[in-house]
Chains A and B, each alone.
Chain A
Amino acid sequence: MAKGIWVVVEQRDLQIRKVSLELLSQGRKIADETGESLVAVILGQGIEGLAQTVSANGADKVILVEDEKLAEYTTGAYTSVLNKLIRKEEPQVVLTGNTAVGKDLFPRLAQRLGVGLASDCTGIEVDSSSFMVFKRPIYAGKAFEFVSSTVRPILATIRPNTFALGTPDAGRTAEVVKETADIDAGDLRAILKEVAIAASKRPELTEANIIVSGGRGMKGPENYVILEALADVIGAAVGASRAAVDAGWKEQKFQVGQTGKTVSPTLYIACGISGAIQHLAGMGSSKFIVAINKDPEANIFNVADYGIVGDLFDVVPILTEEFKKIVG
């Protein structure tokens, strides 16, 4: 009998990533529906305090693996530990976020386990024959495929912002199990020399609830301050089109689209962006799209829920003032 639904919880500097909490919240629902238990697995150093957070967010059981070699994520060490743990405990399903870590870790883990992997999923359906069916965007969101696994465990990475956060219940308690890290020497061949996290008070693009994005219509790098002012009023992230990135106005990491980040925020505000198919590929699954563009024919208006035909340099500063009134 396979045991449980696992969520591999991602933490950085002892902060649990939002997508991990989203997965615990959804995992709780699936566990209740299928009668499975929900297990949170956390790797790192000094992580004991996180057990409480994950149990408040729905876990029945927490597996903690503490080791100084796990303090920072590395492909090898994390694969080594999870592979052994999964072989020992035989969970039905192992989920994690489709983050930089998830995308690097789960393919290697799946290959070592000799199983499949449903990557970058935007939906999970419980299914009587295959246990779970995963929905995944293909062709940059221009189609979806539904996949199921013929073997166990089932591995999947889930796109951030797919599932809603639950309300933590501080009264919940979970069984906490500590496992020792048994890392094969062969898994330590790539050496992490340095982690550089850009200091930013804004949320990460792929996790953000609201994104304000600027394209070629911004005219130059100096003008992004008006988008940043707007973003900071509503706690948004700032993004850019490829035209703006290729012009050197914004760094690559801000690019949204086919060759940039795929985002699905609740609200995407596109300023001076024409709405090329490759841009829409990265943000077309946003819940609400706002377009501010001076060209009434711009393609972005064909997908926007709310559009303003106008000069962004006039509209955005006023919008910022209006948002201030609303959020106080």
Chain B
Amino acid sequence: MNIVVLIKQTFDTEAKIVLDANGKIDANGVNLIINPYDEYAIEEGIRLKEKLGGEVTVVTLGGARAQEAVRTALAMGVDKGVVVSDPAIDTSDDWANVEIIAKAVAQIPFDIILSGRIAIDDGASQTAVRLAEALSVPSVSSVIKLEATGDQLVATREIDGGTELIEVALPAVITAQKGLNEPRYPSVAGIMKAKKKPLKTLTLADLGLSAGDLAPKMVVTKMTLPDPRKAGIRIPGEAADAAKELAKLLHEEAKVL
């Protein structure tokens, strides 16, 4: 079984967001991590390999530091890494990113492509499903349980208020939701081994693309920061009095009841 896992390097969940002089998100000094949902995808990829044999390749499209994320995945047990880096991606949109990733993935034999259900930075939740369409394969998103045989998957997907059970023949794309598994930590031996694993770096030109092919469909016109929430009032008194007062405030002042 050939498994491709898409990973994205994102800001740490603790990161404070500031805008630079150009009104763009400032990445200076920010700790970078593998998008948390992608860790579930990596773990599932490694488990599938352990069960069914084959090879796991991670693919990422990112900036100068994206290699770190790939090294971490290699240390967890992934076999190979591909990093696509190009200045053109600074202004690319979800559509263009998928054009690039599709070209990179098409060079790798795959039976199953795993990704996170959403990247916690852009919150787009588009890349993997778009990629499935670009590659003309079916997809199941937000998967919390996956059973694979040689040529078929049975996936349990989370929907609003319940679940769906979906059967799909390979090749297919699966996006991982929290609950799918418990990602492993890289072991010391894993970290040592990772240093010798193949890691390929590609540019747009290597994929036969140029910035001109990627004119965005969506453009960002501005970015803003939310007004900080202010601490409101603390209701004094013993539990009974405070609860009474709170009920009154919600009813009469906030008018939410």
A contact residues vs B (CB 8 Å cutoff): 75-76, 79, 99-101, 103-104, 107-108, 110-112, 114-120, 130, 133, 136-151, 186, 189-198, 200, 204, 206-207, 210, 234, 252-253, 255, 258-260, 266-267, 277-278, 281, 284-285, 287-290, 301-311, 314-315, 318-319, 322-323, 325-327
Within 8 A of A (CB), among B101-143: 120-127, 129-130, 132-134, 136, 138-142
**B196 interface hit (Cβ, 8 Å):** no
Inter-subunit contact A110/B226 (CB<8 Å): no
Given contacts A111-B130, A116-B216, A311-B239, are A147 and B250 in contact (CB under 8 A)? no
Main secondary structure of the interface of B (DSSP, over half): mixed
Within 8 A of A (CB), among B207-247: 215-226, 229, 231-235, 238-240, 242-244, 246-247
Given contacts A190-B168, A191-B168, are A305 and B120 in contact (CB under 8 A)? no
A289 cross-chain contacts in B, Cβ below 8 A: 229, 232
Cα–Cα distance between A234 and B92 once the two chains are bound (Å): 46
Which of A115, A149, A306: most chain B CB closer than 10 A? Answer: A306
Of all chain B residues, the one with the shortest Cβ separation from A100 is: B159
Of all chain A residues, the one with the shortest Cβ separation from B19 is: A143
**B179 interface hit (Cβ, 8 Å):** yes
Give the distance to chain A from B128, nearest Cβ to Cβ, in Å: 8
Among candidates B133, B160, B239, residue contacting A112 with C-beta atoms closer than 8 Å:
B133
Which of A137, A277, A285: most chain B CB closer than 10 A? Answer: A277
Cα–Cα distance between A100 and B235 once the two chains are bound (Å): 38
B13 cross-chain contacts in A, Cβ below 8 A: 140, 258, 277-278, 281
Inter-subunit contact B232/A306 (CB<8 Å): yes
Which of B17, B94, B126, B172: most chain A CB closer than 10 A? Answer: B126
Inter-subunit contact A255/B178 (CB<8 Å): yes
Give the distance to chain B from A326, nearest Cβ to Cβ, in Å: 5
Give the distance to chain B from A188, nearest Cβ to Cβ, in Å: 9
Give the distance to chain B from A78, nearest Cβ to Cβ, in Å: 12
Within 8 A of A (CB), among B150-209: 154, 157-169, 172, 177-179
Inter-subunit contact B17/A142 (CB<8 Å): yes
Inter-subunit contact B222/A146 (CB<8 Å): yes
Given contacts A112-B133, A117-B94, A117-B218, are A190 and B223 in contact (CB under 8 A)? no
Give the distance to chain A from B152, nearest Cβ to Cβ, in Å: 10
Inter-subunit contact A150/B163 (CB<8 Å): no
**B86 interface hit (Cβ, 8 Å):** no
Q: A75-B129, A327-B257 are in contact. List 5 more A-B contacts (CB 8 A).
A: A104-B129, A115-B217, A117-B94, A118-B218, A307-B232
Of all chain B residues, the one with the shortest Cβ separation from A312 is: B239
